Amino acid sequence: MNDRKQSEAVFVIFGSTGDLAKRKLFPSLYNLYLKGSLTEKFAVIGLGRREWDDEKLKTVVREAITEAGQQMDREEQIDSFLAHFSYLSFDVTNKHSYEELKEEMESKEERFHLSGNRVFYMAMAPEFFGQIAQSIHSHGLKETNGWTRLVIEKPFGTDLQTAKVLNNEIREAFAEDEIYRIDHYLGKEMVQNIQVIRFANAMFAPLWNNRHISNIQVTSSEKLGVEGRGGYYEKSGALRDMVQNHILQMVSLLAMDVPLQLTTDEIRSEKIKVLRALRLIDQQNVNDTVVRAQYDEGTINRTEVPGYIQEENVDPNSNTETYVAAKLMIDNHVWAGVPFYIRTGKRMAVKSTKVVVEFKEMPLNLYAKEHKATGPNLLIIHIQPDEGITIVLNGKKIGSADTTPVHLEYRHDSEDRINTPEAYERLLYDCIMGDATNFAHWDEVSLSWSLVDAISNAWKETDQKPLTYKAGTMGPKEADKLLAIDGHSWWPVEHM
């Protein structure tokens, strides 16, 4: 299909009065419009419980564009963009709301000469996802000459069982190839670059296996705490909030085998094979392979901050983890024996998402034998807040026979970063183009929940309270022991 024809669509945003729509969706749609990825043939229908009207929504969208720093004296373009927006006060349980929505979509398709393509975006409470999907189908909102797609935000369920129920409800209304389960990490520039680094470089592709790699470390740390979201976090915790989706998605990209082609189905197939090969974690080995902890009082940016159990809407006896570290093993011929160490947490020393690939040292290193300072070669993939790659080699110190680590770095310069599509912008464009490569397939979701549920159940059975770590540190010392037993240590991402 012609790209311009493909991009002609009505975007229906459930939850358009919420924070996600304002911070991410509206600015991303505007960027696509500025770049011409959205032509004049599109419409956005915002839905919400609030008694707004078209003008109120347009005011909020204008504010969102301005706050995102995208105005830049483009008043005429912004006005043109806003002309495509309308609002409906919406009750997801009321059939008349869906009838009004159908009329509004048909009206917009006629006004903007659209071909019937429709995107339904769930930017609201997940407990309504299944009901909305079925109501879209039962009230004829999918009856169109174009395509229909359903975009779903996380969390996709709270465990495997609830995820299965939700998936069954949605699949009664939408086919799997119409469902786009969004994980914004998969839209990040350097996450997408993992495949390019691996498969397009002769210096890495043949070395990407257990013969040459010692271990791989994935760190995603935040300096922020729960920031008033204690009620949500009590039901989630770091394991469900980060490991089930973002972290395991990165692990699957790092460990997947070379796909036959760079197509959605082939890439997804290889990622699914990795998730199937993850070694089971149960009550017998959970304490040896997983560390969970809560942040205690500490100092961030020279400011005293409370511990997790002192946060608003948090049970003072809570066992919810704000930090998880784990040793994951992938039992296949490529990765047997190579640990994948993961860690994620709140109120840590730095905000950083990085991948460190540590290569095995040479079996006969003459410089090491002569007691000179040598270390392993590293590939560091910087995902956020900075983006780029660093290769660490051994080199000779100037004026000395000793060796020293040499850092070969590539970081996107400031102009590149300004022009880099924000993750949501890229994923929205992929959705309207029908490219589901960077969205999670149901098999990926179910397999990741299987691992997470196994860990959660093991924690319940052992009945041990989480460890604590001081806010402003990189986690509890037990997480260091997790690597030390294998002769490894965490690479200090705050200094890389």
Q: What is the set of active-site residues?
A: 246
Characterize the bridge pairing of strands 352-359 and 378-384.
antiparallel
10 Å CB burial of residue 119 (0-12, 13-18, 19+) is buried
CA dist 9 and 3 (Å) reads 12
Task: State the amino acid at position 145 in one-letter form.
Answer: N
Q: Phi, psi at residue 361, to the nearest 5°?
A: -80, 160
DSSP element (H, E) containing 357? strand 352-359
CA dist 244 and 260 (Å) reads 27
Contact in structure between 100 and 106 (CB atoms under 8 Å): no
3-state secondary structure at position 313: coil
Cβ neighbours, 10 Å, residue 345? 26
Using alpha carbons only, give the angle 385, 388, 393 rounded to the nearest 5 degrees: 125
Task: State the amino acid at position 312 in one-letter form.
Answer: E
Of 334, 388, 383, nearest in space to 205 by CA: 334
Characterize the bridge pairing of strands 85-89 and 118-122.
unpaired
Cβ neighbours, 10 Å, residue 238? 26
Characterize the bridge pairing of strands 9-14 and 118-122.
parallel
Contact in structure between 332 and 277 (CB atoms under 8 Å): yes
Q: How far is CA 332 from CA 241, 256, 265, 329, 336, in A?
A: 27, 11, 21, 9, 6
DSSP for 237-277 reads: HHIIIIIIIIIHHHHHHHHPPPPSSSSHHHHHHHHHHHHHH
Neighbouring-strand partners of residue 180:
151
Q: What are the structure tokens assigned to 416, written together?
A: 């590149």
Compute the Cα dihedral for 454, 445, 426, 87 and give only its sign. Answer: negative
